[in-house]
Amino acid sequence: MGLQLAAAVLALAAFAGAVWAWPRLAGRGVPPVLGRVGVLAACQVLTLVALGLAVNTYYGFYGSWADLLGTDTGTAQIVMAGAGAGLRVLDSRPVAGGRVEQVVMPGPSTGLSEEAYVFLPSAYFKDRQARFPAILALTGYPGDPRNLMTRMDLPGRLAKAVAQRQVKPAILVMMRPSVVLPRDTECVDVPGGPQVQTYFAQDVKRDVTAHYRVAPGRESWGILGGSTGGYCALKLAMSHSDAFSVAVSLSGYFKTIIDGTTGDLFRGDKALEQRNDLMWRLANLPAPPVKVLVTSSRKGESDYAATERFLAAVRPPMQASSLILPSGGHNFNTWNRELPQALPWLAQQLTVPA
């Protein structure tokens, strides 16, 4: 943030300097022309740097200069997941309405491991015997799980809903769906590659229920995500209705995106490709017993027509609801307009058996 502020100040200073120097650079000849070119170039470069830093802060594309330049050669020791190698807490700090813990979740069945932030509501520390429902919240791609706190304020929104008695206390597990960055796996179990769908459906649930007092049943687990995370949320709930009972997709899509960031996710397996197509699942597989909420905008979202087709294809026992804004782009501002309704809706569907 300090670097971003410094770049913004320098850009403004360069603009002011250009205004001051421009009359003094009037005239013909090589020196005045080079002076004007230099002033314009300095203004443009500093403005682009300031804008680039602001965009990076907003979306969390790169964590350091070494990350940006591709010179980060730091590695970590391989740790085998298994008995005694469960969820590891790296940091813990109080926040309004509870506590946030930064953790690492190893995958005993997949060998994958990913960082997460877990929000524990105040009620978690008041009743040491009670079990709580859990919401797995996923970012888009490439995503930074901290955006779920800094840009979307999921812990604050949930704590507020609890304080207003809209919902009962729940635990938030905030992650990004891309556990093998820089590759975008679209939450696919890649043949001969990372088993990302299994990681979220099995390993993450196992880690959380083993470490925290979370009810393990499907009726106590929901999943929410935006963009790629929204697609993953729907797919995980529809493919693993034994693990999740409800999902919210904020501007999510309905079919795996294949591009330069994903590579070949299916390795020629047509059946696997079809199972990852949510419209194909609705048309060809038994409807899962899950509830879903999908959001979009009539103006500004490219997935609006696809969202309408998805809603029309849902059949019992699956239940679908929608939240369609008149207008809104594919961004945090739109999702923050939807969350005051979407997050309580999700939490209200979750129950903890007596």
The C-alpha angle with vertex 91 and arms to 90 and 93, in degrees rounded to 5, equals 165
Predicted local confidence at residue 1, as pLDDT: 61
User: Which tokens go with 246?
Assistant: 């409800």
Predicted local confidence at residue 51, as pLDDT: 82
Q: Which CATH number fits domain 88-349: 3.40.50.1820, 3.80.30.20, 3.30.950.10, 3.30.70.2750?
A: 3.40.50.1820
Give the C-alpha separation, 235 to 308, whole Å: 17
Predicted local confidence at residue 296, as pLDDT: 97
Predicted local confidence at residue 198, as pLDDT: 98
Predicted local confidence at residue 65, as pLDDT: 59
Predicted local confidence at residue 83, as pLDDT: 39
Predicted local confidence at residue 76, as pLDDT: 38
Give the C-alpha separation, 108 to 98, whole Å: 29
User: Which tokens go with 122?
Assistant: 């105040």
State the DSSP H helix or E strand holding residue 65, giving kind and residue range, or none if neither: helix 65-69
pLDDT digits (tens, 9 = 90+) for 99-127: 999 999 999 999 999 999 999 999 999 98
Relative orientation angle of helices 154-163 and 332-349, to the nearest 10 degrees: 50
Give the C-alpha separation, 241 to 218, whole Å: 7
Predicted local confidence at residue 158, as pLDDT: 98
Please give the full DSSP string across 248-292, using - where no structure is assigned: EEES--SS---STTT--SSTT-HHHHHHT-HHHHHHHSPPPS-EE
Q: Looking at this protein, which amino acid is placed at residue 46?
A: L
Q: Which residues of the chain have pLDDT under 50?
A: 70, 72-84
